[in-house]
Copies of this chain bind each other. A is one copy, B any other.
Amino acid sequence: MAGSSFGKNFVVTTWGESHGKAVGAVIDGCPAGIELSEEDIQKYLDRRKPGQSDMTTARKEDDKAEILSGVFEGKTTGTPISVMIRNSDQHSADYSNIKDVYRPGHADYTFQKKYGIRDYRGGGRSSGRETVGRVMGGAVAAKILSSLGIKATAYTLSVGDIKAENIDLSMINENPLFMPDNEAAKRAEEYIRECRENNDSVGGVIECRITGMPVGIGETVFDKLDANLAKAMLSIGSVKGFEIGSGFEAAKKNGSENNDPFYADEDGNINKKTNNAGGVLGGMSDGSDIVFRIAVKPTPSIAREQKTVEESYGPDGKPAKKAQDSKIEIKGRHDPVIMPRAVVVAESMAMITIADLLLSGMSSRIDSVVERYTE
């Protein structure tokens, strides 16, 4: 099955493996007439770059995005936008120690069983490297959204038990964890260093907030805005949960608390007094901010010894000998937390989702159709 595309009318297809020649995305269905440059995309890619602080791996990735199609004289033409980054020269490392061993918390085992073959040099398509293509797509989606005054902002809400308390979005870029609370960020950094010294990692929560939404984006049954956001988020590796608005708290509440009363201002504009809904009613945006959170698991690659199994395969793709218990220590430098680099990925997937539903919703009324095609 072909599972590398996301969206229906604004479609992002990603390709490429961590240890392959290149990674990239094809973005199809982008409206014509949008100003788009490589800098627009690079800006987003730079936010997921490692090595910006000691909160992420020191590995150097000198990613430079190249737009190969779909843009003419600085504007999108309505044709597919192909963007690519060459992977840095892969030094011929010795992978023999992980070739036949499944890393716990990784997709090595499932990949091998599904396909009978896997690129054992890294996570392949299950590597975080794949998200480069998502960020490329997100950067293009951002241009569509900004034309409509819509803006998505993701940030780290918590690291382990340490939570941003006094949320101030202006602080997000002031600390390496992208937390909207510098003080909490400081404590979190401390804790992360501690984890790393213990050859361990830690999880956290990312929150995303989308402002400027028109009412009615999202379809009423299966392609609900929140359903598509949930899929978008869980499609990011390491994400184990999604909640919108009051989320899992809603499960403990009474209806009288959880319902958001409507009110009208003097001009007759309708709004909600609270936003337990998280900006979505019946799968459609209600004009309030979209607010959702995702649970990110701790980095599975840790330096301490872990129990696992080893199993080797012959050239015919069949197991060469019976699996047996083994141990593994994952070498190399790995991010002790995933959030800092995943923030822009979550934001990107959110923007792609919104852009797709915006374009898909153009024809909800016959009046709009008539207006579009007659002058």
Interface flags, A139-163, vs B, CB<8A=1, else 0: 0000010011100000000101100
In the complex, are the beta carbons of B284 and A373 less than 8 A apart?
A: no
Contact B68 A281 (CB under 8 A): no
Q: List the number of copies, as a whole number.
A: 4
Give chain A's interface residue range (CB within 8 Å of chain B). 35 or more
Per-residue interface assignment for chain A, residues 212 to 250, with 1 indicating a CB less than 8 Å from any chain B CB and 0 otherwise: 001110011111101111111111010011111111111
A341 at the interface (CB under 8 A from B): no
The answer on a CB contact under 8 Å between A242 and B230 is: yes
Q: Once bound together, how far apart are the Cα atoms of A76 and B17, in whole Å?
A: 13
Residues of B within 8 A of A48 (CB): none
C-alpha spacing A298/B205, complex, angstroms:
24
The reply to whether B124 and A79 contact each other, CB–CB distance below 8 Å, is yes
Question: Is there a chain B Cβ closer than 8 Å to A53's Cβ?
Answer: no
Q: Which of A32, A148, A161, A253 has most B Cβ within 10 Å?
A: A32
Interface residue stretch chosen among A57-65, A104-112, A176-184: A104-112
Per-residue 0/1 for A279-295: is the Cβ within 8 Å of any B Cβ (1 yes, 0 no)?
Answer: 00111111000000001
Residues of B within 8 A of A102 (CB): 262, 270
Contacts of A201 in B (CB 8 A): 254-256
Q: Are A255 and B4 in contact (CB under 8 A)?
A: no
Q: Is the CB of A77 within 8 A of B115?
A: yes
Query: Does chain B have a CB within 8 A of A200?
Result: yes
Determine if B240 and A248 form an interchain contact, defined as CB atoms under 8 angstroms apart.
yes
Residues of B within 8 A of A247 (CB): 240-241, 295
With A237-B282, A364-B78 as known contacts, state yes or no: A251 contacts B204, CB within 8 Å: yes
Complex contact A9–B20 (CB within 8 A): no
User: Is B259 a contact of A300 with CB atoms below 8 Å?
Assistant: yes
Closest residue to A150 on the B side, CB-wise?
B373
- B258 near A105 with CB under 8 A, answer yes
List 12 interface pairs A-B (beta carbons < 8 Å), by A numbering: A4-B221, A17-B70, A23-B69, A75-B117, A104-B260, A144-B366, A149-B374, A231-B231, A241-B251, A250-B298, A263-B307, A264-B311
